[in-house]
Structure formats: C-alpha cells, structure tokens
Structure 1
Amino acid sequence: MFDPSRPPAADLAMLHSFRHPACLHDGAYDVVAANSAFRQMFPGTGPGANLLTAILLEPMARIRLGDWHTEAQHMVTTFRESSAEVRPERREEILTMCRRLPEWDQLWENTVTPDSVVERTLRMLEPETRREQHMYIQNFRFQYPVRPWWLLAIVPID
C-alpha cells in the first residue's frame, strides 16, 4: 500500500502531462497535487489547500468565477454527499471554516441533482480585463488502480 498523502510517480506524471489546469484532491477537497496551469489559474491552491474553502472564502474566487453561486452550490452539494468518506474531525474543521460565509446556510440546505448535469461548464473571468473564458470541468475517480483521490480537470471550450 502506498502513502495516500503522496501520489505515486505514475499519478504525478499523468497529472503533469495535462497542459490545462488539473489537480488531484481527496474527498474533503484537500489538494494532494496540482499542475502548474492549475496553480496559475487558482493561486494558493497547491498541495494542502482546500478547494471548497478556497471557492467559498477567498474573495478572488468571486471575481474569477463568472457564476460564483452556481459553482459554490455544486461544490457544497458534492461535499455534503461525499463527506461520509472524510475523517469526522477534518469534516468538522472544514464546516467550521465554511460557516463564516453569510450564504452558508442557504448553500448547505439547497442541493444540485448530479444526474441532471450532463456537461459541466465553468465561466472564468480574467481579473484585470474581465474577459470571459468558458471551460469544461470534470471530476474523475480512479477506478483501477483505486486511489483515495479524484482528478479534477478544467479544459477551455473556446
């Protein structure tokens, strides 16, 4: 068995082969590894960062994400439904941070039905120019060999 906090070389090679933003994250949305395109698009979200708290609490996320509320709702719904796999103390730590958000109760109690989402897109805005870039966003789970993390990949549509 390998150390789940340290991806094997093959997983890192696969991650870094993507020219578009990609990262490996666990069920708590803690980043295990990120490629340079991901770190450039989302500064501060390298290994050890939490994607959920970054989207919800980092002010720049509201500027970069063209539809912050929709993306926040997707993340919260997914976290709520998959957090049974997360260590209880880590889950509570993340929830405690997220509760600082004024919209938290609304986001936590609402839900997005994953089956209704055929293709997920993201609208990113350049902070300086406000130029829009539409992107596909996919979250892949490793089936074989099984891994304790997911691959999040973001690919431009345009």
Structure 2
Amino acid sequence: MERGELGRRVGLAAGTIKAIERDERRLVDDNLRKVLGALEIQENNVRLLVSAREGRLRSDDSAPCDVELRAIEAITEPVFILNTVMGRIVAANRSCESLMHLRAGVSIYEWLVAEPWTRQLLGQDWRTIVHGLIWGAAPLIECVMPDGERERLLDVCSRVPEWEVLWTTRPATADFIYGARMTDPGTEDTLDYSFTAAELRFPPRVGWWQGQLTPAGPELARVSA
C-alpha cells in the first residue's frame, strides 16, 4: 500500500506517514489503531501489538497451574492453551493431543506449516486454512515474538515448499477461520469442527489464549470465515 493511500485511510498526510516510518515522528495510540485497522490487522491482535510497542507485553513462560490443567481436562473436546507471544502451546488436553498431536512446548506455527500430521488432518483444506492463519499471525511473529524464536521459526518453515506463498501473499480471505473438516489420520474418521478462542485472564497470564474445537452441525461450511 502506498503512503498516500494509507494516509487517506487514517487521515494523515503522506509526509507524516514517511516521517513515522523513519522514526522521525511518534505514532500516537489513536493513529496506531487506525493504521492497524487500515492494514487489516485482526482486532484480537491489535491490543497485543499496542502493548508490545509500549513495552508492556512480557511473555509469561511459567507452567500452567493445576487449576488450569484440570479445567481443560474437564472438557471432552480438543482444547489447548497458546502463548501468543512465543507462539507455543502451553497446555493441551488428552483429546487435543490425540486428534491434533498438539502438546505443551510445540510451536503452533511449525505444527501448522511443517507437521505432516497436520496436512493429513486438514486434507484438501490445509492450504486455505494455514494461509489464513499465518497471514493473521504475521504481525505477532514480526513484531511481538522474541528475535531468536522468530529466526528459528522462519528457518524451519522456510524449508516447506509452500512457505514463500503462505508468508508473503494475502490469502483470498484474510478473515479468521472459524471451522474446518478434520480427518483423523489414525482412525480415518472425518468430522466438521467449529473453532472458538478466548483470551485467558489469569493474572499475570499475558498473551495466553484458549482454543477449543467443537463438533459442528451440518450447516457449518467446510472452511467458514
């Protein structure tokens, strides 16, 4: 997007945008949110990006407590907790480990892009789903993830043939993916799932989100955005 077009969308002169890009002028929070909106950054990532810029975002690397682990194990459907700053799974219940092969310590982005099990799980929808999720996560990977973790992640993912397209191009739909058809590679059982995610508010759990898959009714499209 050219500076003039971005400026028009957020109400700033192209010269002002240029000065901001060169760190010659500060981008105040109100305008920052407008810029993120104009660049189609997903709303759930905006707060994390603003917090990171202000130096208020710290990765909580502690292990989940017993209450948190019991809470997700009490749910029979696949559930995982994700540290969005590090891009790593904090915890996953037994159902999630069985179906998705997600467990504590696994990089969610490597699992999406480079894990053969995930390709089998998502089948012909793999590319569409992964492209949309990587596009949505790119601002967090670029701006929030620690440098060493980001470099390691990009090194691993860049070995996947599709990575260049997944990382550098805008998908046909850049909206959040809310559903998918999954085929368990072990049992070959196929089922449509809806996906929900919510930010966990356990202080000081900064940047922890809980994701859950729920078997969906027949009205759910195979990939709905």
Calculate the TM-score normalised by the size of structure 1: 0.84
Cα 1:130–1:36, aligned 2, differ >3 Å: closer, same or farther?
Answer: closer
Instruction: Tell me, in whole angstroms, the C-alpha distance in 1 between the residues paired with 2:182 and 2:91.
Output: 22
**Residue 110 (str. 1) matches residue 169 (str. 2):** yes
Instruction: Tell me, in whole angstroms, the C-alpha distance in 1 between the residues paired with 2:187 and 2:94.
Output: 22
State how many pairs are aligned. 153
Instruction: Tell me, in whole angstroms, the C-alpha distance in 2 between the residues paired with 1:139 and 1:70.
Output: 19
**Residue 16 (str. 1) matches residue 73 (str. 2):** yes
Q: Give the equivalent residue in structure 1 for 2:61.
A: 4
CA contact (8 A) 2:122 2:183 kept: yes
Query: Offset of 1:87 from its aligned partner?
Result: 1.1
More helix by share: 2
Q: 1:95 aligns with which of 154, 175, 181?
A: 154
Q: Structure 2, unaligned stretches of length 5 or more? A: 1-59, 218-225
Q: Structure 1, unaligned stretches of length 5 or more? A: none
Matches within 5 A, 1:59-74: 59-66=116-123, 67-74=125-132
Partner AA of 2:148 in structure 1: E
Equivalent position SS for 1:65: helix
Cα 1:41–1:104, aligned 2, differ >3 Å: closer, same or farther?
Answer: same
CA contact (8 A) 2:184 2:190 kept: yes
Q: Give the equivalent residue in structure 2 for 1:47.
A: 104
Cα 1:8–1:130, aligned 2, differ >3 Å: closer, same or farther?
Answer: closer
**Residue 37 (str. 1) matches residue 95 (str. 2):** yes
Structure with more contact order per residue of length (Cα contacts < 8 Å, sep ≥ 6):
1
RMSD: 2.2
Instruction: Tell me, in whole angstroms, the C-alpha distance in 2 between the residues paired with 1:23 and 1:47.
Output: 9
Calculate the TM-score normalised by the size of structure 2: 0.61
Partner AA of 1:157 in structure 2: A
Instruction: Tell me, in whole angstroms, the C-alpha distance in 2 between the residues paired with 1:127 and 1:135.
Output: 16
